[in-house]
Amino acid sequence: MQQRKRTFLIFYLLIAIIIVGTIGYSLLLDISLMDAIYMTVITMSTVGFQEVAPLTAPAQLFTIILIFFSLGTIGYTGSQLIGFFFGGRLQEIWREQRMKDQLSEMKNHIIVCGAGETGRHVIESLEKEDVDFVVIEFEEEKLEAVKEYSSVIAFQGDAKSDEVLEKAGISRAKGLVASLNNDANNLYTVLSARQLNPDLNIVARAITHDSHEKLIRAGADKTVSPNEIGGHRMASMLLKPSVIAFLDTITHSGKIDLNLNEVVIRDGSRLSHRTLMDANIPEQTDLIIIAVKENDNAVDGIIFNPTKEYMLKPGQTLIVLGEDADLNKLKKLAES
């Protein structure tokens, strides 16, 4: 916006000088309009061509004043051009165009709305998992902070706006995190996102205790309260320190590189329609099977510690614990 104002200011100054110079030379030298414009232009440019008529004393004084004003305006114009090309503006335009091209190609990505304290941890977690995502932040300082410690695609905008969400490719996204600074903003964001993409998986931040149900009614699939989680965790650290140490290990907070993750069994894979004993997953991958989640239409839900006779079927999700390299082995076994 400031750059646009400066551009218009330069344009208006140049037009004003040309008009004043043309009128002045027409009156002082009694010459034609075209000759007056010519005199004004060669005076502003200081090229030193021959005058169209002998300069009188008043015309000479007018020329001196016109030269001073012209030099000032042209000098200001030159400084703005240098600032445009070498002060980062051109690089910013190129970066913005590159970001638009990347956004237009993104599919099945995640949109993170808000880059505050909660949003920052979301961004770090998504980067560790190496998934495609884009960040929307309204405050410029927070946005610049994200760009400093991360190379993610991020742009400034109001996440409550349909236009901004569409710019982030919400119609092609698979998930959205609403982690704005208050419940009202998160509520409006969830409403807008749900209307634009009914199939979107939405997780919203709930700040106050009574906002969970409202966010769910607005269209959120899950809600998370950082305050509640932080309180429970602090109490558990005192009461169950070994359990917390184990959880830190499987959530990459500890020093051991273990990961609690999920793998979906695809139709036609080497795991489908086989029992856990026949699939022989622990021997092939060194992973520990924690649970099996049935497909969405099933009534049983999640089966913890399934037996060896449990039958694996397409659409089920295996929840396993182990290293990332072993997880990739299981993903290959579960693919069709």
Length of the chain in residues, anyone?
336
Position 202: which residue type?
Answer: I
Judging by DSSP bridges, how do beta strands 317-322 and 259-264 pair with one another? antiparallel
> Boundaries of CATH 3.40.50.720 in the chain?
106-229
Q: What's the rounded Cα separation, in Å, for the pair 291 and 289? A: 6
C-alpha to C-alpha distances, 107 to 103, 131, 213, nearest whole angstrom = 9, 11, 30
Architecture of the domain spanning 106-229: 3-Layer(aba) Sandwich (3.40)
d(CA 288, CA 282): 6
pLDDT tens digits along 105-144: 889 999 999 998 899 999 988 988 888 999 999 998 888 8
Contact 136, 166 (CB under 8 A): no
* Residue 128: predicted pLDDT: 83
Helix axes 57-86, 2-29, angle to 10 degrees: 160
> Are 263 and 316 in contact, with CB atoms under 8 Å apart?
no
Q: Which residues pair with 311 in a beta bridge?
A: 275
Sequence ranges of the chain with CATH classification 3.30.70.1450? 245-334
Q: Whose CA is closest to 178, among 163, 193, 164?
A: 193
What superfamily would CATH give domain 245-334?
Regulator of K+ conductance, C-terminal domain (3.30.70.1450)
Element (H, E) at 44: helix 33-45
Crossing angle of the two packed helices 33-45 and 2-29, in degrees rounded to 10: 130
pLDDT for residue 222:
94
The architecture CATH gives domain 2-86: Orthogonal Bundle (1.10)
Classify residue 210 by burial, with Cβ atoms within 10 Å: 0-12, 13-18, 19+.
exposed
pLDDT in tens, the chain (336 residues): 566 677 777 778 888 888 998 998 888 888 888 988 888 888 887 776 777 788 888 888 888 888 888 888 877 777 776 666 655 555 666 667 777 888 888 899 999 999 988 999 999 889 888 889 999 999 988 888 887 776 788 888 999 999 999 999 999 999 999 999 899 999 999 999 999 999 999 999 999 888 999 999 999 999 999 888 888 889 988 998 888 887 776 665 545 566 788 899 998 898 989 999 998 998 888 898 999 998 654 445 788 889 999 999 998 999 998 888 888 899 999 987
Q: Using DSSP, state whether 266 is helix, strand or coil.
A: coil
- Where do you find CATH 1.10.287.70 in the chain? 2-86
Distance CA 28, CA 20 (A): 12
Q: Residue 140 corresponds to which tokens in the numbers above?
A: 């410029």
Cα separation values, 160 from 106, 194, 195, 294, Å? 21, 11, 12, 35
For residue 218, the surrounding DSSP H or E stretch is helix 212-218
Give 116's DSSP letter.
Answer: S
Kindly state the tokens that stand for 333: 């076994």
Joined tokens for residue 166: 């569409």
DSSP 255: S
